[in-house]
Structures are given as C-alpha cells and as structure tokens.
Structure 1
Amino acid sequence: MKRLSFILLLLITAHLTFAQFPGAGAASVITGKITGTVIDSISRRPVDYATVALSRSGQTKSTSGALADDKGSFRIDNIKPGKYRVTISFIGYKPKTIDPVTTTAAKLDFNLGDIILVPDSKVLGEVTVVGETPVVENKIDRIVYNAEKDVTSAGGNATDVLRKVPLLSVDYDGNVSLRGSSNVKVLINGKPSGVMAGNMADALKAIPADQIKNVEVITSPSAKYDAEGTSGIINIITKKNNLEGVSGSINSSIGTRQNNANLNLNIKKGRFGFSSNAGGYYSWPAESIIDFKSSGAGYSNTQSGNNTTDRLSGNGSVGIDYDFNTYNSVSSTLKFSRFSFGTDGANDAISQVGNNISSYVRNTNNNFSANNYDWNNDFTHKFKKEGQEYSIAAQYTRGNNNNDYTTNFSTDPLNEVATNDGLNQELTFQADYTQPFKKVVWEVGAKSIFRDINSDSRANKINPSNNTYTPIAGRNNVYSYSQDVAAAYSTFAFTLAKKYGFKIGGRYEYTDINGSSAPTLAQTPNFANNYGVFAPSAVISRSFKHFQTVKLSYNKRIQRPSLFYLNPFRNVADSLQQSQGNPTLKPEISHNFEIGYSTFVKTTIINASLFYRRTNGIIESIVTPVMENNRTISLQSYNNIGSNNSFGFNFFGSINPVKPLTLRTNLNINSYNINVDNSSINPNPTQSDKIYLLYNAFVSASVNLPKGFIIESFVILNSPRRTFQGENAGFNMWITGFKKELFEKKGSIGLTLIDPFNERKNFSSELKGATFSQSTNFSIPFRSVGINFSWRFGKLKTGPTKKRGVTNDDLKQGDQNGGATGGGVGGN
C-alpha cells in the first residue's frame, strides 16, 4: 500500500505539473532536417567548423543555421516543408549559396551531399583554425576532464582516469574522494548503476579507460539532482557517436599488470539510432605481502603471509532510440556487467590472551563476484518554444553480489566455509518539465525510487575428521531491507544586467525504511523509520572582462548508506581481522558553502575555490576489539560517528608556454576535524577534536610533436587519509605515456609506463583506540608496462545530441576494495 501511495504521488504531481501548460498534449507538426558535408575543393578534405546559414528562398535574412563538426558535417533540424536558401561560409573560402532547397510533406529530409568550397584567391596568407577541446574545461557548476584527450589514460581503467581529475583523489585501494570526502555519488552517463551500489572501488576497475569520453565533477548540484552525495557528484560519460551512418571503435591493451579490450558499434539512420558496447578486463595474478599487529589490555596478535589475487570483468550495453519528429523521441538502453576477484593465501599467526599463546597457519580461499544490469526507458517531448520540454523516464536495476570463502587452520578447530548472496533491486520513475520565460527558466519535477535489498548469509563449521558441516549459531539468516524515496523539486535560473547569473531551487525528499531478519538476531534487529528532508540550493555568478567569473554557492545534501555499509554478513575469512556491515545506520546531512574564481586568458586556464562543509552523522569505519573463541579479534564495521567541519582550498591551472607544450597542475587542501558525539563509541582521546590538514596534488606535462607523436608525463601525490581512529597510507604515482597517431588520426598505438623505478610499493596504516592499537603493512607489485591500440571506423555525418534518462544519485556507495587485504590493487 505504501508503494502504491508513492506511485500515485508521482503520477499526480506529474499530471498537475503538465496540465498547467496549454498545448502540452497538442499534436506536433512533423518536421525534417537538412544535412550535408563541407569539402575543400583542392585537398578534398572536410572543412571543419564551417558556418551554415538558413533563410527562406529568395531572402538573405537567416532564420536558422548550424556549425559543421570536425568532419565537416552539419545538420539543421526543425525544418517545415518549404523552399529554403542555404549559405555556407568559412574564413579563407568563397561563400557558397544553394537556392532553392525544397522539402515536402512526403520528403521532409534533404541531404545536400558533399558541398565543395573553393579557396579565396584574395587571401594573402594561410589561415589555420584549430578546434581542439582542452583536457580540462571549467563550467559554472562543474569541472570537465576530457579523458579521451589524455595520452596516459590509454590502457587503464576508470580508477586510473579518476586519479587525474581535478578535485578528486583516489587511494591505493581505489577509494574515491572529492575535496577530502568519500561521500560522493558516481553516475554513468548521468544515470545510476547497480554495480556501484555494492563495491564501488572494484566496479570502477571494471570500466576500461578507453571507453571513457570525459568525467564531470559537479561541486554545486542544483535541486534538480537527487540530494544524495554530501560532497558532490561524479558523472562518467562513455564514448558514443551520435552521427549519421555506421561507426565504431576498437580499443585494446596488454601489459605486465592488466589487459583489456573494448568494442563500440553505433548505427544512425534517419530518425533511428542503435548503439552497442562490449568489453572485458583481466589482471594477472599479483602477490601481496602482509604484516599485521594488534594489541590491547591482556592480548596481542601478529600475522604475516602472502596472498595472490587476480581480477576478471566484463561489461556491455545495447541501446536504441527513435525520433518520431523534432518534438517527440523515445529511447531504451540495457547495460550489464560482471566482475570478480579471487584471493588465495597462507598466513602465519600468533595470538596471545593473558599467558595463553596459540600459533597456527591459516589458508584462505576467498571469491567475490557481482552481476548487474540496468534497464533505462524514457520519452521526451519538446515544444515549439525553444527550451520548453518535458520527459518521463523509468529505470530498473538489479545487482547480485556473491561472497564465498573457505578457511582452514593447521592446528585450530575453527575451519569454516561461508557464503553470502546479496541482491539489490531498484525501480525508479521520474518526470521533469522545463519552461523558459522571457528572462527566467523554470524547472520542476517529481521522482520515486523503490529499493529492495536482500542478504542471505550461511556459515558452517568444518569437521576435518569427516569433512562434515555444522551450521554456526547466529550466523545463518536472511536480512531484508526496503528503502522507498519520493521527491519533488523546483528551480529557477535567470540573469540580471547581463553579468549576474542566478540559479536557486529546493528539493523535498521523503524516505520510508523497513528492515527485518529471519531469524531475528541481535546484530540485525527489525526496525522501521521514515523522515523528510528539504534540501535548498543556490548559485550566484558574476562575470567580468577577459572571461573572468566569480561564483558563490550553497547546497544541502543527504547521504543514505548503500548495501555495502548495511550488509550484516560477517566475513571471517581472516580469523584476526573481520568485517561486518551495520543495518541500523542513519543518513548523513551536510551543508556546503563555496566561493570560486575562474578565468581564461589566451592559453592559460585558472580555477580556484574556497569551501566549507559541515557534515552531521558522518559515517566512518570503526574497529572494535571483540573476544571470540579464546582470542581477541579486530572487528571492522560502520557507524554514525559524529560531526565533521572541513575547510578547503582547490587550485587548478593549465598553460601553454610554447605551442607544443601544455603544463597542468592541481592542488586540493582540506581540513579534517571530527567531533565524536556518539555515546556508544569510546573515542581515542588523542585523535578526536584535533584538526588535520590533508592534501592531494598532481603535475603533468604533455608535448604534441610533428607527425602525430604525443608524449605526456603525470605525477600524483596523496597524503594519508584520516579517520577518527587514525590514518591510512598515503599514495603517489608517476605515469608516462607515448602515443603515435595512425591512419589519418583514426587510430593510434601507445606505450604506458607506471612507476618504472618501483617494482613494489608498501602501504601502512595505524589505528588507535582507548583500549587498543593496530598497525597494518602490505606490499604489492606496482611497476607496470603496457601497450595499447585504438582504431575508429565508419563514415559519419552530424546528428543531434540528446540528454535523457533517470538520474539516481541518492546513496552513499561502497568505497572499500573487497580485495584490499588480498593485494593486487592499485598501480594498474
């Protein structure tokens, strides 16, 4: 009944919204398009970025137009049947006019074919116009990193790409932070993905870098976005051609650490579009060396050994879209992915409690796999008025996470086998409407999310004498968790005096939660909860001469825990270090303030900002000593620790001191000041209430040499990450890439080197509590050499770009690597 209420709320809101606007349901006039390709008469090569003007036949006043792309292709939409005059012009060429161009009701589309432009003999010198997209672009509410322009990204995965994005930092485990906070939402093409709801660090490793077009870091999300993600949103946009014809690309790499391959195929014919993608990733088995020590009142534990980890993943997508006319379009996309890793290891352990000392050898086999798919469907209706439109979208997401392990001891009776099958299902409905007025743009919409999580845990003790299994009390249960969210928003954007830009809005989200366990256990109690949150947002910008902009922003955000944090499954693969989720976690609430400055002068780009973030109910990992089976173990879980006040500074700069050379640098500094107010936690008095400064930075240089040779080098530095109990290891990396363009820039071959002088790297962490101290050190292979190849094929003509689909960004996602203690992570 509750879910029915949510659906009715969405439908009523959408109906009331759209019913206010006359003509919303009126029949649309079917229109067509005029297309063509501009060609140089001498070289027979495309004339990129030529200007195309459209007017009525016999008239010179332009009523519409377009700009050719880098292939010389152009497309003018919204053409009613009639006779037209088309004028093509470009610097250094004689203009060319075609009149009449006739479209009819029977033939709405007109293809002009190849249009030949003749160089103007009056031009005294050569004129060269280069339309090159920079690696980093700065926009009012986000920074865009164009990964396809970065040589050193080839052959890696999404984790490697994110390490080079301004404002972001990624540690050795693949955990992503934005301005020092891991409470960030990751979207794929503006949409959520079930694969991210489980283990985000491993999910990112499954996305090949060669598939990524760019990455958007949204630091000031408007109320149109879900209020989730206390520090902001990361949107990974994959490559897809929206051009007329058949096209595709092949990317592959092989290296000493990892190998991947990816294939894209796109077909665009008239109003029909088809896109598909398939790829895979495999990392060679990597050996990690681990040392662990913990001690407290009356106990001590030590452990050392070797683990070998390998990873395998595959992903793909298929999508179709159809434009009924200029005003109405539909699309459907199915994405699927699978990734897995396995860890085999042997560890020597010594455990002491009082005067009792036990020593043993532990052999463990741990396997984790995740299967996910997302199905998106949407409909978009555009009105005759420019910018006026509404859309209705639906998404179904399903993800299965399976974690199995077997642990055997040489002299210990605690041999066991355990399995956990996790299922995450989401159903989302979304409706959005945009209404432009003379000086104001109004956006309004509603959304409902129905989320079901199921965790089936089984643990059995193994009797080595007869190989029989006995269920372990308290560790066999099925936990069910439902989370329903209903939301509505409204935003207004307008400009005053041509210099001041405003975007203000508000979003209300109501959440209903239920959790139950069968049988009911102490660590997984049954509970129900509901709450509402109003999240306002505001951005004010002021533009100055010479492309200078100053921005002020405020937004309130919420972070709901995902399956990764909630799953009550106890992982006992390591007898001394165990982990378990916390199904009773509450959401985080943050208030974010920012002042930013950006400028573009000739070849120099500067972006700088100051920010303050107050987070209440912050979720952090917590380690607690627990006495079990005559030894004291370190149990890792999650809890709402307290509040954190963080001040920070960001700087990004890019400059071309000489034509072939580009230098870039990025620096992020933020404070960590935790105030532990959870009465159930005994904080470490030496850590709580202190202020720590954290940083991450990078410096890069790229050189474009003649004949398509490109060289780039990249250095990354990350400080240790703080928690209220201590710190985790810092991280640094040096990457150098070489690339040679082939086949008239349709292909390339490259070489990537990662830390050539460091065969292995050591990572250490230190944790302290009021009654214990713990240290971990592990070493993993790091030096890497890889060769990559890419090729693009197909003859294309320009087509329209559309923005569609559901955008769920409302969960705190898992940011820990499931194979962290197994090694084989980072540096790839």
Structure 2
Amino acid sequence: MLAQGQKPLDQAKTIKITGKIIDAATKEPLEYGTVVLKDVKTQKISGGISDSSGDFSITAPSGTYDISIEFISFKTVTYKNRVVDKDLNLGTIALVEDGQMLEEVNIMPEKSTVDIRLDKKIYNVGKDLTVKGGNVSDVLDNIPSVSVDVEGNVSLRGNENVRILIDGKPSALVGLDGASALRQLPADAIERVELITSPSARYDAEGTAGILNIILRKGKVTGFNGSINPKIGNPEQYGISANLNYRTKKFNIFNNTGYNYRNGPGSSFNDVTYFDANGNTTGYLKEVRESNRLNKGFNTSFGVEYYLTDNSSILANIVYRKSSNESFSSNNVDIFDINRTVTSNRLRIENENQDSNTIQYSLNYTNKFNTIGHQLSVDFQYSKSNQDEFGNIFQNSAFVEDNITVDESTKKLVQVDYVYPFGEGSQLEFGFKGDLEKSNTDYKNLPNVPATYDPSNNLIFEQNVYALYGQYGRKFEKFSFLVGVRNEISDIKINLLTTNVNYEKNYSKFFPTVNFGYELNDSESFTLGVSKRLRRPRSRFLNPFESRSSETNIFKGNVDLNPTYTTSYDFGYLKKWENMTLNSSVYFNHSTDIFQFVTQERGDFVNGVPVLLRTPINLAQEDRYGFELTANYTLSKKVNFSGSFNYFGFKTEGIFEYTNSNNQVITQDFGAQNTSWFTRLNAKVTLPSDIQWQTRFQYNGPQEGAQSKSKGMFSTNLAFSKDLMKDNGTLVLNISDLFNSRKRQSTSYTPNSETYGEYQWRQRQITLSFTYRFNQQNSSQKKDRAPQQQEDDFGGGEGFGK
C-alpha cells in the first residue's frame, strides 16, 4: 500500500495537483490510474487514483517531487524533479500499452475491500470466494452491517427497512418480490455494493435503516471481452451466467445474462399451547410442514453507451427478467386435548405455481463539463411487471380451494441531477425526481364450499412521489462537510374494486441531511452523519383484504397506516496501519409512528381453535442504537483475515387494546427493550499449488420483541478456488451452511397461546462453479498491482454525495 507522508513541521503551503489519465490508443479514460508523488528531499511517498472519468485531484505540501502516472500493463509517465509551489494542472496524460508487461504482470495482494466516502462505504466484492456460484443475496449477506435471514429478507444493523437500488436507481431486477428476485441475479454480475447509512439529500428518503446500492459490472476494456460462469450444485442446482462487453472509441456494448435452476427442500414446525382466560392450559396443536421449491429464473441486461463527445454520452439499457416457481408443501396438523390425546388430525397439501415477467427500459444522458466534477445527468426509466400465481389446497385428500392472484404493475421514473463545483473545494448540487408507480392486484379464492364472506379481492394501488433536493459541500484542508435538504411529496390512492371503496393519502415532508468529515492525519479520520428518513407502507400493508397463510392464521392490511419517520445519527472512526484497517461506527435512530404487527383473535373458530388475525398498526415510538466494528488484517501475501461485529438494541413504547372471543378487553403492552448482536469472521489462505481457501463463520445472536423471541443462529461457509488455463479460468468449490445449522428458532406469544417454531428455508448447499475470462488482460478485475491507496478523503474522485 502506498504510504502517505506527514506534513513537514514548518507546515508548508498546501497545493493541488490535477489532471486526466487516458488510453493513448482509444482516448478512453482510465479509472484507478495511480498517481505517485515522491518527495525528492524526504523520499516520502503520497498520491491518489483517478476516477471513472480518468480525472484525479491530489493535495500535498509544496515541494519538489518526482511525479509518476501509472496504470497496470501501461508504460509509466514520470515527471522528474518537478518544483510544485502552486496549484498544478498536468493536463491530459495519454498512457501507452506496454506489450511486454501484458505477459509479465505479477499477481500481488488484492486491494482493500472497503473505500470510505463522506456519506457511504463501498465494498468491492469480486474477490470473495464464498459467494462464487451464488446470487445477490449471498453477496449482501457477506457485507459488514448487513444480514439476510433464512427467508431472504435483507436487514441493515438489525433493521429490515432497507432501500435496495441497482446502479443508483430502483430497478426491475428487484421486481415485485425483492427477496425472490435477489436470489435470481448471479453474484458474478456485481462489481461492488455501496452501503449508505447516512444518505445525503441526493438519495431517496425511503429506507429508515439506510440504502444498499448494488453496482453491476460494465466493461472498461477496449475490444471484445468478458467472462462465462457455469455452475452445478446439490441439492439440485445448475445455471450459467455471462458478462460480455465490446468497447470502441465511440460506443460501449455490454450484456449480463444468467439462467438459474434450483430445487430447494425446506421444513418447519410449530408447537402451540392454548390457554383460557385464567391462564390454564386448554389444549395443544402440532404443525409439521415439509416443502419443496423449484425455481427457474432467467435475466438479461443489454446496454449501449454512445459517446457523443469526449465528455458526453447517451446510455440505453433494456432489462428482462423471467421466473417460474413451483412450490409443493405438506402441512400435517395434530390437535390435542389437555391430556395430549389426539382429538383430530388433518393433512393439508398446497401446490403453488408462480410465473413472473419484468421488462425495463432506461435512457441516460450524461455531460461532464471541462471542470472536474461539473456534471449534468438526465435519466428516464419505464418498467412493467406481471406476476401470476395459482395455488390449490387439499385437506385429507379432499379438495378445499383454489387461489388465483394476478399482479400487474408499472413504474415510471424521471430524474435530473446537476453538480456545479466552484471556488476552492466547494460544490453545489441540485436535482429533481418523479417516481410513479401503479399496480393492479386481483385475488380470487374459489372454495369447495361457499364461504360466509366474499374471499375475492381486486386492489388498484397508485403511489406517486415527487422530490426536489439541493445540497452544498466543501472541503478545506482536513475538514469536509456536505449539507442538504430534500422535499418529497407523496400522493397515494387505493381503490378496492370489489367493494368500490376509495382511499387517498397525501403528505409532504422536508428531509434535511448533514455529513461531516475530519482527517486527523493520513491514516486516521472521523465522520458524523445526521439524516431524516421515512418508511412508507407497502400496498400489502394497506390492503384491508384478509389473506390466509393457514386456516387459523390470517393477515389483514390496515388502510389507515401512516409512514414511519426516523432521525438517524451516525459517528464513524477509521484507522489504518501498514497491514490492518479498522473501521467503526456508533449509531442512534429515533422513530415515530413505527409499524408494529399485532396478533389478536378474530372472533371465530375452526375445529374449536380460535382464528388469529395479524395486522400492522402505527404504534408509538422506537429508539434503536448500536455499535459496529470491522477490521481487515493482512498477515502475509498468503494469509488474510477480516471480521465484523455489530451490537444493537432497541426500545419500543406502545399500548394496544382489543376485545377477544370471550368479550374480554385485552390490553397489550408492546413496550419492549432488547439487545442483540451478530458477528462474522473471514479467513483467506493460499495453500500449496496456489489453491485459495476461504472460510466464513457467522453468528446471529438471540433477539426478543414484545410478542416473540428467537434463539441465536450459527452458520459456516467454506470455499476452495484454483486458477487454471494461464489464470484465465477459475474453479471454485463452495459449501454454504456447512453444518446445516441455518435455522430460525422462535417463540411467539398472545394472551391465549404460546407458539414455538423452527424454520429452515434452504438446506446445506454444495456448488461447483467455473469462470472463464477472455481478453481481460488490462482489467483490474483479475490481476492487481500492489494495493493502491484508495481516496478515502471523503468524496474521492466522485465528488461530494456521490
């Protein structure tokens, strides 16, 4: 790693060195080009890297320097004994390919996996063996501060209200069912993940926990190049993905395509104890569920970027996603009396088929003006999704009912962002965004015996969000800040066609954001972020229709549900040593009108068992707090360790009252206070014959809420990798959940029942994958020089808030 020198004791004048690095042959910018400053007098080294436009900007004390401009497999350009006593612009530096170096590039220790910016952390995930052959959910589950539960739900610092973006925008790749869609996108399509816990005003206010921005791979190498990745696994799984790119001076064509087939067994069971009004046991229920899910998914993204000038381009992109899912489950229910004698038994068989199609069209215009950081970008996006579900239920071999759900949705987006740098280290940014969404969900229940109520439902949901934002950032010497405000106007309409009932909700809110950064020295820095966020209720939470997960468990939305508002505080500290990086944060969130899912008796019975109704309500307030620590330690070229630890807690206040089946007024105090934690440890070792061995241990601590508590969960992933075919191919064996221990074990309570349950979404998975790369000799994707100094100076080459 390049060691940056300290300022001399006489506090020499600070100067700025700028320029642009391009490929001499194609005139294309070179990202991650290295600029090395060697002080002729002290022999100390400092420097930086170029951004995606090839631009660099470095501050240093005035003095005499040897300045080197380097890029892997290109000849180095050096300026010897350059006296720098004022700001210096080196202009455009054209690097020429070094034919000899193309054959002699040394594989060195990989670059740091984290890049710290003023308002986000960037994790480069391409080197992680334990996700090879996996999907986006596997990648996210390996990012510090992020966890993915057994059902695929993503949470950040223990909070599931996370906004997930693809390339900075809402995407059809997430689709109608986020958890399912993330499992279909292959891990090899991802270049990096941006973890934004204190979003600036540029980002949507949605997501009280923060934002996860997934950046997909796009080729930067001239000519035709790419990679192909087939895989096979047990339980039955196979698939293939390809990342292809063709680039010339005037245009860039890229395509990411993947097909995945997975047959995944799962299981769960529930033990329920029932009580009377005096707390005496009245009976028991045991429910054992075995399931098998067949998932077939195809997705492709095709894009063309045309370079109008050296500074402007138009990018057109089409995304198509198709999936077909089949699910079979058997649900065996035994009901016992107080003496645990079986009084009735039923076997409930459910078959479900789900087909979905999504297509998205995107158009982007970007103009980068002559001044570094001066940029205008305009985005248009349109997507349409269709999802059809058909299910039938048999009980004790007798037909019970058919369920048909047809879901259609359209989304339109227009976004304009303008960045204007001025003065010394200052920057203004303004923008507008319109996000228009409309969905039509038609649910039909066709029972064998006519129901006492009409079980069909047709809901039209419209949500239009309009936003304006502005922010100002400045960096001077060791201090930087970014302050802004965003205004979002939400217009929501709900139309229940079955009952011809309409609801409307409209609200407008300002969301201020403040981010500060201070560099104590070249290896130590502090950040502070304060932001206002919200969580809007999804259409399913608002739909007052009663949907069944079983005969005795009903879910019903709440049309009067209001958004949750959260104020977030985040204080971070970063420390670097020669072989180790330590990054830590202390955070606190205060939320009002939080969503709480409450369970109550609906008032009727099935075979003597009370039907339980679960619904969301706005319940008082909640405080969340925590501490996280991540560390990376390089013992040698062959041994690397990394780990993370996250401790978090919450305190909820709220009272809920309802009348049960015995006409008793039940008062539930949802006040709860609990702490939990999760930790990960990664070890990466190079074995003889250059075999890479990586092991990941993860433990999620126990949690407890007002109506439930869950046990801790431990899992282990193991991976081995070997480069073949002159390092153009890589073979990876990956074992996910080595000890088959990834199970959710929880206990939930109501005044009249106690339920213990276990749930395992997916059993241990063994995957063998092979990646073949072609014409990527210039890419830092596979071969890197010694780790380059990332621009951790809050903003880097991308500017404030990016």
Asked if residue 701 in structure 1 is aligned to residue 683 in structure 2, the reply is: yes
Q: 1:404 aligns with which of 372, 383, 390?
A: 390
**Equivalence map 1:41-440=2 (5 Å):** 114-115=97-98, 130=108, 132-196=110-174, 198-257=176-235, 258-293=237-272, 295-297=274-276, 301-351=285-335, 358-410=344-396, 415-439=400-424, 440=426
Is residue 628 of structure 2 the alignment partner of residue 650 of structure 1? yes
> Cα deviations across residues 741-796 of structure 1 (Å, max 9, x unaligned)?
123332200111234444x6543221112333222224566333221110111267
Distance 1:386 1:37 in 2: 21
Return the offset for 1:374: 2.2
Q: Structure 2 CA distance, aligned partners of 1:461 and 1:74?
A: 61
In the superposition, relative to structure 1, how do residues 636 and 316 fare at CA in structure 2: closer, same or farther (>3 Å)? farther
Query: How far, CA to CA, are the matches of 1:722 and 1:424 in structure 2?
Result: 36
Q: Offset of 1:163 from its aligned partner?
A: 1.5
Aligned in 2, Cα 1:332/1:582: closer, same or farther, shift over 3 Å?
Answer: farther
Structure 2 counterpart of 1:793? 774
Structure 1 residue 110, shift from structure 2 partner: 13
- TM-superposed deviation, 1:169: 1.6
CA distance in 1, matches of 2:169, 2:659: 37
Match of 1:552 among 516, 528, 540: 528
Instruction: Summarize the Cα distance change of 1:684–1:797 in structure 2 as closer, same or farther, 3 Å threshold.
Output: farther
The correspondence for 2:580, drawn from 581, 598, 604, is 604
Mapped partners of 1:639, 1:401: distance in 2: 28
Deviation at 1:272, TM superposition (A): 0.9
Equivalent residue number for residue 595 of structure 1: 571
Distance 1:182 1:795, change over 3 A: closer
SS at match of 2:287: strand
1:35 and 2:35 matched: no
Shift of 1:493: 0.5
Do residues 749 (structure 1) and 731 (structure 2) align? yes
Q: Which residue of 1 aligns with 2:472?
A: 492
Contact (CA 8 Å) 1:213, 1:239: kept in 2 or not? yes
Conserved? CA contact 1:143–1:166, under 8 Å: no
Q: CA deviation at 1:34?
A: 5.5
Matched residue type, 2:570 = E
Alpha-carbon displacement from aligned partner over 1:410-463 (angstroms, at most 9, x marks no partner): 287x81111111222211111111111113100011111211121111111126
Aligned partners of 1:647, 1:220: CA distance in 2, in Å?
Answer: 14
Cα contact 2:715–2:738 (8 A) shared by 1: no
Give the aligned residue type for 2:24.
T
Q: Provide the residue aligned with 2:64 in structure 1.
A: none
Match of 1:814 in 2: none
SS at match of 2:562: coil
Contact map agreement 1:159 1:170 (CA 8 A) in 2? yes
1:361 to partner: Cα distance: 1.9
The answer (yes or no) to whether the contact 1:751–1:785 under 8 Å persists in 2 is yes
Most deviating of 370-379 and 290-299: 290-299
Aligned residues: 713
- Check whether the contact 1:93–1:117 (CA below 8 A) recurs between aligned residues: no
| Residues in 2 aligned to 1:273 and 1:37: alpha-carbon distance in whole angstroms | 12
CA–CA separation in structure 2 for the residues paired with 1:74 and 1:129: 26
Change beyond 3 A, Cα 1:620–1:417: same
Distance 2:162 2:627 in 1: 18
Name which of 430, 440, 443 aligns with 2:429.
Answer: 443
- Residues 568 and 199 (structure 1 numbering): CA distance in 2 closer, same or farther, change over 3 Å? farther
Q: Which sits farther off after the overlay, 601-610 or 475-484?
A: 475-484
Query: What secondary structure, in the 3-state scheme, does the structure 2 residue paired with 1:544 have?
Result: strand
Task: Give the SS at the match of 1:196.
Answer: coil
The reply to whether residue 633 of structure 1 matches residue 618 of structure 2 is: no
Cα pair 1:244 1:796 within 8 Å, conserved? no
Contact 1:716 1:734 in 2 (8 A): yes
Does the CA contact (< 8 Å) of 2:108 and 2:637 recur in 1? no
In structure 2, the CA distance between the partners of 1:253 and 1:622, relative to structure 1 (3 Å rule), is farther
Q: Determine if the alignment matches structure 1 residue 676 to structure 2 residue 654.
A: yes
CA–CA separation in structure 2 for the residues paired with 1:695 and 1:570: 35
**SS at 1:415's partner residue?**
strand
Amino acid at match of 1:702: K
Partners of 1:142 and 1:668 in 2: CA distance: 17
CA distance in 2, matches of 1:32, 1:220: 32
The one-letter amino acid paired with 1:366 is E
CA deviation map 1:512-543 (0-9, x unaligned): 1111111228xxx5211211111000011110
Cα distance between partner residues in 2 of 1:568 and 1:239? 42
Aligned residue type for 1:451: E
Q: 481, 499, 521: which is aligned to 1:520?
A: 499
Aligned partners of 2:148 and 2:666: how far apart in 1?
26
Letter in 2 for 1:787: L
CA–CA separation in structure 2 for the residues paired with 1:509 and 1:351: 52
CA distance in 2, matches of 1:92, 1:270: 19
| Matched ranges for 1:806-825 at <5 A | none
In structure 2, the CA distance between the partners of 1:363 and 1:325, relative to structure 1 (3 Å rule), is: same
Could you say if the C-alpha distance between residues 582 and 317 of structure 1 is closer, same or farther in structure 2, counting changes exceeding 3 Å?
Answer: farther
Secondary structure of 1:507's aligned partner: strand
The residue number in structure 1 matching 2:793 is: none
Post-superposition CA distance 1:301-350 (Å, at most 9, x none): 43224222222222111111111102321111111223343222222324
Match of 1:58 in 2: none
| Aligned partners of 1:155 and 1:259 also within 8 Å | no
Deviates more, 1:730-739 or 1:692-701: 730-739
Letter in 2 for 1:450: L
Identical counterparts, % of pairs = 26
CA separation in 2, counterparts of 1:723 and 1:157? 31
Contact 1:656 1:663 (C-alpha < 8 Å) held by counterparts: yes
Checking the alignment, whether the CA contact within 8 Å between 1:380 and 1:392 is kept in structure 2 is yes
- Deviation, 1:292, is 4.2
Question: 2:720 aligns to what?
Answer: 738
What TM-score, normalized by structure 2, do the two folds share?
Answer: 0.81
Q: Over aligned residues, Cα RMSD in angstroms?
A: 3.9
Q: Is the Cα contact below 8 Å between 2:73 and 2:98 reproduced in 1?
A: no
TM-score by length of 1: 0.78
Structure 1: gaps spanning 5 or more residues: 1-30, 39-45, 54-64, 78-85, 99-108, 120-125, 464-469, 804-808, 810-828
Does the C-alpha gap of structure 1 residues 545 and 474 become closer, same or farther in structure 2, counting only changes over 3 Å? Answer: same
Output the CA distance in 1 between the equivalents of 2:527 and 2:94.
44
Query: Which secondary structure state, in structure 1, belongs to the residue aligned with residue 548 of structure 2?
Result: coil
Higher RCO, Cα 8 Å, sep 6+: 1
Q: Report SS of the residue matched to 2:455.
A: coil
Q: Secondary structure at the match of 1:148?
A: coil
1:692 to 674, 690, 693: 674
8 Å Cα contact 1:455/1:569 also seen in 2: no
SS in 2 for 1:622: strand
For residues 142 and 227 of structure 1, do their structure 2 counterparts lie closer, same or farther at Cα, with a shift above 3 Å needed?
A: same
Q: Equivalent residue of 2:165, what SS?
A: strand
The CA deviation at 1:143 is 2.3
Q: Secondary structure at the match of 1:161?
A: helix
Q: Structure 1: which amino acid aligns with 2:142? A: K
Alpha carbons 1:198, 1:564 under 8 Å: kept: no
Which amino acid is 1:424 matched to? S
Gaps of 5+ in 2: 1-19, 38-46, 57-66, 80-91, 277-281, 781-795, 797-801
Following superposition of structure 1 onto structure 2, how do residues 559-578 of structure 1 map, counting pairs within 5 Å?
559-567=535-543, 570-572=546-548, 574-578=550-554
Measured in 2, the distance between the counterparts of 1:238 and 1:373 equals: 17
